[in-house]
A and B are shown apart, each in its own frame.
Chain A
């Protein structure tokens, strides 16, 4: 396809004798000299000489070498390699990354424009501080000193929990890990990042089903699927490069591409079946689908028998969802759902793909549980072309989640138990007690008992969706020593949480606000802060190195493309400087090389490897990952595996997708498809994790007659501890060194040392040698008894457009979760009682557009992208628009159901949304209820495009398991402006 241009270029057709360049310049020079027309000239915009401005990025100048550097695009989780041409430290060009098996040269609008994000002159250039309402430039040294002094004094007055650490899904794995470790040393569990508001419910729901909360297969593996079901995923706009794999499945396999979505998305336009259903009725939809599956005997009985626990309970719930009731609640006609059910259950392999359309609900965790159960019922998991293909949001949102930027766990899902803390204390080589003593003691408040430091250390923090509630609510309602007083925000937009009018109150009340970001973000422009607000310029992800975990769990090592622009520093350096200021740098960086205040990301990854046994982050050494980036072309497009004989990476799956067991030296290839029993565990095979015990109510929780290829144990088995190993007699296979480490870890209780706490990796190594999965061989759980709804049940949204259904399907009772009260039931009841749905008759739902990402400050500052989307808009159905006299392109007010909120946006009249539904993108900010806040940004840092934030309008509602906010179903009204 590539054709070399053979002939030399033709000269200007009719002046072959002239030297073209010179002729052009001369002629233009002549014309410019002749411009004596004066007035006329200005009238006609005569400047003839300018063809266009030559900006950065001319062809490479002669002499200096052009270096190729690879990093990973930050704009979604697909993990596209960005190939940069760098000359004299300047990023002069971007080339297709043909070698990457993930993107194969491709990008979307954002990836293809990513060079501008680094070059952008709208970036924050130096530290700034708000003094008397004015932005002032300060030095880094002063900034760190002032911020450090302030948080130390807050700590003294209000405790460690009064400071909130909000991290970023654009961090590298190493930076994510570092911030989690930082919070541990600071003494709080209130450390969170974007996963809270994108896939926290997925992680919780999926992990509670079969062990790990991540995409089971990969983008590439979907090429094997015969049937794809999208629920709440608009991959064409959110994960465009993934679409090349998805469309390949549709085309090559003549597969079914079924899109179930309230909105006729760009993805739906390419579907073979489009099912429009009412937003917020995912569970009735899936149960309705399973009703047909069970009714027709399409379920995979053998799979259920051998590998699933509790499907009977599900059947009882599913039986309630007769086709008529499903149609009443969701609006989907029975015959259509039956057809979808038939395809999903019988035209296999089939996969379910979901995103935030499913997760951002008060029933988010239950939604994803229902999807998993649908996969289990039809045997669509643990094989190529099947599975729960969960498309995540940022470059490294998977990695940041794994590495514990989360209020409920230490890195790699160890949780917050004493055992977890002790494990990490051993890895960090610090004493457990010294960590414990950094936590607050919580006094008894409002009838709640006091918490000791140890108890507080084991108590999850406040979710990032509620931080402002923890600032503004009365102190006795906040279940910690005192209210939140300071926010330290690293790489997180200010328009990403719902209920922004209330967020604003919290923002204004904070004692300290620190924004560390390449851009000022919404936080800098919104609200009425005058003092104690700092902006620190941070390098973009492309200006720092480290590993990133894509949605498919592959780790990719990104190189620093260019040095951080202006006065920016990268996350590592800033965290080190702060730790130094706060006095725990020496302890925290005990085994990590620090050069010029910058900790080495390689060393950080090695430390992760040393402690990352639970999730298989132990085998991906920096050397192995760097070798993968060098050898990208060796990996197969569909299986992602390199041939056994390939140098450096032979037999590996691309990016050593976690879990990659054991020490790097044993060269586990990573796990491309989770729970795939048709492979040997040393080839990436695995079983469902025996995470929930061995027996319940007299039924076994271990697999029956199912085991991974070549396993020496040919039935289910529990997770492996030293005790189990001894029982099997395999402890003899441990080396003396391994045994020594295990004894050191176990102390008096060596038998309790498990595959996840054994710092030697010996237990894992021995198990793999015996073809056994050390985490056990369990059944997946159709019933998750530890969740609020063990079997997912339908619950109407807090602001339901169908109040008559609320009494039958109410939300869960009010309850205290994550130190705050979740008063969803009260709010829902009040909304029904007040008849809110009458005044606000339209469902408001939100989503993504391809040109922008997240809060959008970065992408809206990029002129190449900003040109593609000029204004914040609301999609309104043609009939709803006609009813309201709204014309396409005109300004309208959208009114929200809480806080008398309103936004002024442009109307996009379209049938993309059904009648009674309005849709808005979530990337805009910089306007507030009709007011343009451009002047509030520090001069020169305002994004090109500003607009109203949809979260000005979004309302109350939190998932009980993770505190996920409800962004997908609320109510609104629209009127012409």
Chain B
């Protein structure tokens, strides 16, 4: 069974935000919900790097652990998904998430943020694959169609990789060996408790 992961090669990311709008396009994500975003470190100085970040679908996911209603589940592909029917919008997953992935429709009076929304690795939710109900709540289910997340598929420089962890790690490793530098597999040690040694 594949172990799905994301990897952003910051030495290729140019902050073009294609991943961000591809996500909006594929899932019709409304204004204010940013399932994926690009953060620029050291902006405007030599050494500047941009990193595209979304839910990393962690091993032993912290969001899943802290959820008071246990609305998260991990698929056999190790995609961390959640049920919006169960979610109560408490916001704990945001506090626990190392990557700021969970999003809420409202900032909310008195913490009523609405149902949490986050990257699904383009694989929907608990509803039947490709159903209207699934689309309305979670967006498209590309994985069920044998496709990978659109953000990575549309990445302008092939910086953002999505797919089986071993395969994308091998791609990244080969790249770093070829070009001779790499700023690291961002988020991997935190999300997967492993890094890619080159």
Contacts and interface: CB of A to CB of B under 8 A. Distances in A.
Contacts of B167: 1, 3
A52 B113 CA distance: 12
Interface string B41-59: 0011111111000000000
A13 interface: yes
Nearest to A250: B179
Interface stretch (A103-111, A330-338, A558-566): A103-111
B68 interface: no
A636 B171 CA distance: 21
Nearest to B132: A58
B16 A53 contact: no
Interface stretch (B93-101, B157-165, B187-195): B157-165
Given A51-B137, A247-B12, A254-B179, A5 B143 contact: yes
B14 A20 contact: no
A240 B143 contact: no
A243 B178 contact: no
Contacts of B180: 254
B25 to A, nearest CB: 6
A220 to B, nearest CB: 14
B14 A240 contact: yes
Chain A interface size band reads 35 or more
B66 interface: no
A269 B136 contact: no
B11 to A, nearest CB: 7
A10 B14 contact: no
A83 to B, nearest CB: 11
Given A105-B153, A107-B22, A240-B157, A45 B130 contact: no
Contacts of B127: 9, 20-21, 24
A864 B19 CA distance: 11
Given A9-B144, A96-B154, A911 B44 contact: yes
A275 to B, nearest CB: 12
Contacts of B2: 3
Given A44-B109, A107-B18, A111-B18, A12 B153 contact: no
Interface in A8-55: 8-14, 20-21, 23-25, 27-28, 43-46, 50-55
A100 B21 CA distance: 20
A4 B15 CA distance: 29
Prevailing SS type, chain B contact patch: loop
A79 to B, nearest CB: 14
A355 interface: no
B80 to A, nearest CB: 12
B24 interface: yes
Contacts of B117: 51-52
Contacts, number: 237
A867 interface: yes
A264 B45 contact: yes
Contacts of A252: 178-179
Interface in A324-363: none
Interface in B1-39: 1-2, 4, 11-12, 14-22, 24-26, 28-34
Interface string A223-242: 00000000000001100110
Interface stretch (A112-120, A418-426, A782-790): A112-120
A241 B30 CA distance: 25
A401 interface: no
Which of B4, B77, B123, B161 has the most C-beta atoms of chain A within 10 angstroms of its own C-beta?
A: B77
A138 interface: no
Which of A6, A9, A96, A252 has the most C-beta atoms of chain B within 10 angstroms of its own C-beta?
A: A9
Contact of B70 (A11, A14, A106, A270): A14
B85 A9 contact: no
A280 B50 CA distance: 29
Interface string B129-172: 11111011100110110111010011111100101100110010
Given A10-B73, A113-B24, A51 B178 contact: no
A165 interface: no
Interface string A251-278: 1101000000000101101100010000
A702 to B, nearest CB: 43
A860 to B, nearest CB: 14
Given A45-B106, A51-B136, A106-B156, A13 B15 contact: no
Given A3-B2, A236-B16, A244-B157, A58 B84 contact: no
Given A56-B28, A105-B153, A910 B43 contact: yes
A266 B45 CA distance: 10
B96 to A, nearest CB: 18
A78 to B, nearest CB: 9
A7 interface: yes
B186 to A, nearest CB: 15
Interface string A289-318: 000000000000000000000000000000
Kindly list the 10 A-B residue pairs having the minimum CB-CB distance in the complex, ordered from nearest.
A109-B17, A113-B21, A240-B16, A912-B44, A251-B179, A236-B14, A24-B85, A112-B22, A269-B48, A910-B44
26 contacts: A3-B4, A6-B76, A9-B124, A9-B144, A20-B126, A27-B85, A50-B114, A51-B105, A51-B115, A52-B117, A56-B28, A59-B132, A94-B22, A105-B154, A107-B156, A108-B16, A111-B18, A243-B157, A251-B175, A252-B179, A254-B180, A264-B45, A269-B50, A864-B24, A910-B43, A912-B43
Given A9-B127, A21-B131, A93-B140, 15 more contacts: A7-B75, A12-B73, A12-B86, A20-B127, A24-B137, A45-B106, A51-B115, A110-B21, A236-B15, A240-B156, A243-B156, A251-B178, A850-B17, A911-B44, A912-B44
Interface of B: 1-2, 4, 11-12, 14-22, 24-26, 28-34, 43-50, 70, 73, 75-77, 83-86, 105-106, 108-110, 112, 114-115, 117, 123-133, 135-137, 140-141, 143-144, 146-148, 150, 153-158, 161, 163-164, 167-168, 171, 175, 178-180
